[in-house]
Amino acid sequence: MIISCLAPNHFYRCENESVIFKSLVLTFIAATLVALTVSALRPDYSRIRQGKADENYLSSKNCLACHQDHFASWAKTFHSRMTQEAKADSVQGDFETANTFAYLGVKARMEKHDGRFAMTFTYADGKAQTFSVDRTVGSRRIEQYLTKQAGQYTRLPLAYDLTNRRWMSLNGSFFYPDSENYFQHQAQWDGNCVFCHNVKAQPHLNTNTKQYDTEVAELGIACGACHGASAHHAEEATSPWQRTFWRLFKTADKQIINPKKLAAERSLQVCGHCHGQRVPEPNNRILEILQRGDPYNAGEDLAHFYKPVERETLIGSYAFANRFWANGSPRLTAYEYQGILRSRCFTQGDANNRINCLTCHSMHEGDVRGQIKAENRTDKPCLQCHQQFADAANLAAHTKHSNESAGSRCYNCHMPRVVYGVMAIHPTHDITVPNPQLTTAQAVPNACNQCHLDRSVNWAISETKRLWPERFSSLATSGDKQFDIAEGVRALFAGDALTRALTAEALSGEGVAKVEGKWALPFLLEAFNDNYPIVRFFAANGLANYQAQLTKPDYLASAAARQTSFKQWRSAIDLLNPQSTEKAKTLAQLLRANRKDVDLEVGE
């Protein structure tokens, strides 16, 4: 090299090589220094919460630096606002204008002073009690309120109806008859609600004092709920070398859980952890959970820690049977996991590519009301496996309905709206084949009469046999004459409270059926006499839907006030359809005579 460099024709080439070599060395040194500096300055996330149940869990704000788009889409969801500190920018209830509510002889006043919120209850004897409002729960349909006393959080008995913009008693959202117990649904939060409405709940129960010292990784349903502990991922991401490596090698382990990349069953479990009411596995693990905290992390096998509640589940003498229809299908939201687990789409699907929550739902896309894209509200998700029904002729042959009708939509027939959750009726996630005989045999609502409210169950059974003889030749109509009555009427008065509520909602035109208001009004008015507030809620909504010019009756008003509203509405309805209210009353009395009501805990 020395001889070569001394040669004139090699001098400039040698000098260039030397410059390039020096540049490369300096660049390497500089990059190494930068990398070492970044490494030295990067946060030591791995030491966060050592020894705790939420060890290595970060706040969603820690994710913002790299994932601005995902943070922004998550922040728009109701998940992000599930549990919040009560502040001016989080509280949606009216604490300043329409801020009083009288119920069961108790006068409540909700107030805001200097950025703080409070509820004051004045009782019939003149005594008053004031509770601070410290946290909120829910931000879509109703907003509930937590008060903190002696370090313990308790849910207050009043909530704010975000749809109807009014104060309400929680007695009006549960399946119990009218009660004189104002505080019937006041509930302890630390050992109950905390688990599904936050990330990595740790109640820290003291068994001696029976007190909680609750901690969570983050209030609300945040990044950690779906992606697990992210400390190591965040630390690695501070290295430009590591980020470059991840970009070049898409399959590299990023030390973070991505539900889209999990096997179908594990992905389903991430959502099922909260959307599937559960008990510890084994049962005696409950003390460990109440003391140390929730042991499950996204991506793990949920079955190692919990088992889903089923109709047969018992905790001591406490039974969960009423939360399910008689055939075992869930009747409430927060049991979507159980519904999917029962479905043939899951049980008989390809183990590596079978249905799970992400088949239809998108956590960072689509309408935040359901977290679902518009295209997935159509038949598209079902057609991924059942491609033959994309053909119009095949679809018509399959459904026996016109292709444009509600009877040819997959969801309407195979996921009927027979589930209650937070003042609304929802589609079941137990994907089944419609069978109207389940209604006569087990009091399970059927998909056919969800549309054909003006037809009887026996009619639906006969039509099902006629249209699909190969599958349903053995069906038999019922000899019970009630099943010859239009199901929209029979179920509204003969069914249990949940059946009556979902039928009132369907008659209101909120479901898939096209309902003639003139026919439905007298029955909805009679349903407003129900002794269950939640049934009256849906009946009142239906009345207002069809006769908006009249004052909507208050389902939580006193019995006397409700009767005054009832008489006003009866006069208006009889003008439209003479004697219709008296006929509805007579039929309702007949159907109510033999019904059996079942009180129902909702997700407690």
Residue 4 is assigned to a structural domain of this protein? no
* Shared-domain flag, residues 271 and 403: yes
* 263-300 per-residue burial string, b: 16 or more CB within 10 A, e: under 16: ebbbbbbbbbbbbbbbbbeeeeeeeebbeebbebbbbb
Clarify whether residues 412 and 347 are in a common domain.
yes
What is the per-residue pLDDT across 186-226, written as a single tens digit (0 to 9) for each? 999 999 999 999 999 999 999 999 999 999 999 999 999 99
* pLDDT of 311 strictly over 70: yes
Encode pLDDT of 380-417 as tens digits: 999 999 999 999 999 999 999 999 999 999 999 999 99
Q: What is the pLDDT of residue 11?
A: 47
| pLDDT of 573 strictly over 90 | yes
Nearby residues of 492 by Cβ (< 8 Å), 6 or more positions away: 500, 503, 504, 507, 523, 527, 588
Quick one: how far is CA 150 from the chain centroid? 31
Residue 215 lies in a domain: no
Which of 390, 415, 432 marks a domain boundary?
A: 432
**pLDDT range class, residue 353, cuts 50, 70, 90:** confident
pLDDT > 60? residue 3: no
- Are 105 and 123 in contact by the 8 Å Cβ rule? The answer is yes
Q: What pLDDT is attached to residue 44?
A: 76
- For range 73-87, the mean pLDDT: 97
CA geometry: angle 451, 373, 64, nearest 5 deg: 145
Other CB atoms within a 10 A radius of the CB of residue 91 amount to 22
pLDDT tens-digit readout, 409-466 = 999 999 999 999 999 999 999 999 999 999 999 999 999 999 999 999 999 999 999 9
| The predicted structure's pLDDT at residue 22 | 65
Phi, psi (rounded to 5 degrees) for 208? -80, -45
Of 224, 220, 223, 21, the closest CA to residue 138 belongs to 220
Whether 271 and 411 share a structural domain: yes
Strand-pair category, 306-308 with 278-280: antiparallel
Taking the CB of residue 352, how many other CB atoms lie within 10 A of it?
8
Q: Is the pLDDT of residue 41 over 70?
A: no
Does 57 or 48 have the greater pLDDT score? 57
Q: Name, in order, each residue with C-beta under 8 angstroms of 548's C-beta and a sequence gap of 6 or more.
A: none
CA proximity to 428, closest of 360, 332, 495: 332
The helix/strand/coil state of 514 is coil
- Distance (Å, rounded) from C-alpha 255 to C-alpha 231? 9
Question: What number is the average pLDDT over the span 68-73?
Answer: 96
Residue 260 lies in a domain: no
Q: Are strands 198-199 and 187-188 parallel, antiparallel or unpaired?
A: unpaired
Region 315-332 average pLDDT: 95
State whether 326 and 417 are in the same domain. Answer: yes
pLDDT of residue 108: 98
Contacts of 393 (CB under 8 A, 6+ apart): none
Long-range interactions of 191-199: CB distance < 8 A, separation 24+: 191/290, 192/604, 193/137, 193/155, 194/153, 195/274, 195/294, 196/273, 196/274, 196/334, 197/82, 197/83, 197/137, 197/221, 198/82, 198/83, 199/54, 199/57, 199/223, 199/224, 199/225
Write down the pLDDT at residue 1: 44
Average pLDDT over every residue of 257-265: 94
Mean pLDDT of 39-50: 74
Do 315 and 416 sit in the same domain of this protein? yes
Q: What is the DSSP letter of 275?
A: S
Nearest of 157, 162, 195 to residue 179 by alpha carbon: 157
The reported pLDDT for the residue numbered 47 is 81
* Residues 568 and 424 placed together within one structural domain of the fold: no
Contact present, 438 and 327 (Cβ < 8 Å): yes
Mean pLDDT score of the chain, rounded to an integer? Answer: 93
- pLDDT at 17 exceeding the cut of 80: no
What per-residue confidence (pLDDT) applies to 251?
Answer: 86
Cα gap 288→205, rounded to integer Å: 9
* 391 and 491 share one domain: no
Least confident span in 37-41, 160-164, 287-291: 37-41
Share above pLDDT 70 across residues of the chain, in percent, rounded to a whole number: 93
Asked if pLDDT for residue 167 goes beyond 50, the answer is yes
* Whether the Cβ atoms of residue 497 and residue 527 lie closer than 8 Å to each other: no
Confidence of residue 42 (pLDDT cuts 50, 70, 90): low
Confidence of residue 14 (pLDDT cuts 50, 70, 90): low
3-state secondary structure 472-505: HCCCCCCCCHHHHCEHHHHHHHHCCHHHHHHHHH
What pLDDT is attached to residue 350?
83
On whether residue 77 sits in a domain, the answer given is no
Q: Is residue 49 part of a domain?
A: no
Pair 271, 391 in one domain: yes
Using DSSP's 3-state secondary structure scheme, residue 102 falls into strand
Instruction: For residues 423 and 495, state if they share a domain.
Output: no
User: Would you state the pLDDT for residue 321?
Assistant: 95
Res 597: pLDDT = 87
Residue 551: how many other CB atoms lie within 10 Å = 11
Give me the residues paired with residue 116 across strands.
Answer: 113
Closest CA to 355 of 447, 431, 275: 431
Q: Is residue 286 part of a domain?
A: no
Give the domain extent around 387: 267-277+309-432
Q: Tell me the residue length of the chain.
A: 604
The answer on pLDDT for 4 being more than 60 is no
Residue 211: helix, strand or coil by DSSP? strand
Q: How many CA atoms lie within 13 A of 136 on its CB side?
A: 28
- Identify the top-confidence range among 1-5, 177-181, 593-597: 177-181
Identify the domain boundary among 195, 215, 245.
195
- Closest of 377, 372, 375, 374 to residue 362, by C-alpha: 372
Distance CA 501, CA 533 (A): 10
Confidence of residue 596 (pLDDT cuts 50, 70, 90): confident
The pLDDT assigned to 6 comes to 46
Q: What is the pTM of this model?
A: 0.91
CA atoms within 13 A on the CB side of 188: 13
In a domain, 536, yes or no: yes
Domain boundary among 432, 456, 476: 432
Tell me which of 27 and 38 has the higher pLDDT.
Answer: 27
- 368 or 29, which is more confident? 368
Distance CA 499, CA 515 (A): 18
Please report, to the nearest 10 degrees, the dihedral formed by the alpha carbons of residues 476, 480, 485, 486 taken in order.
-50
Number of domains in the chain: 3
Q: Which two tokens stand for residue 327?
A: 């055939």
Range 160-186 average pLDDT: 96
DSSP H/E element including 393: helix 392-399
In a domain? residue 248: no
DSSP type of residue 283: G
**Same domain for 105 and 172?**
yes
Q: Domain check: are 416 and 497 in the same one?
A: no
Q: What are the respective helix, strand and coil percentages of the chain, to the nearest 5?
A: 45, 15, 45
The encoded tokens of residue 3 equal 């001889």
Both 414 and 540 in one domain: the answer is no
Residue 171 burial (CB < 10 Å; 0-12/13-18/19+)?
buried
Q: Residue 195: its pLDDT value, please?
A: 95
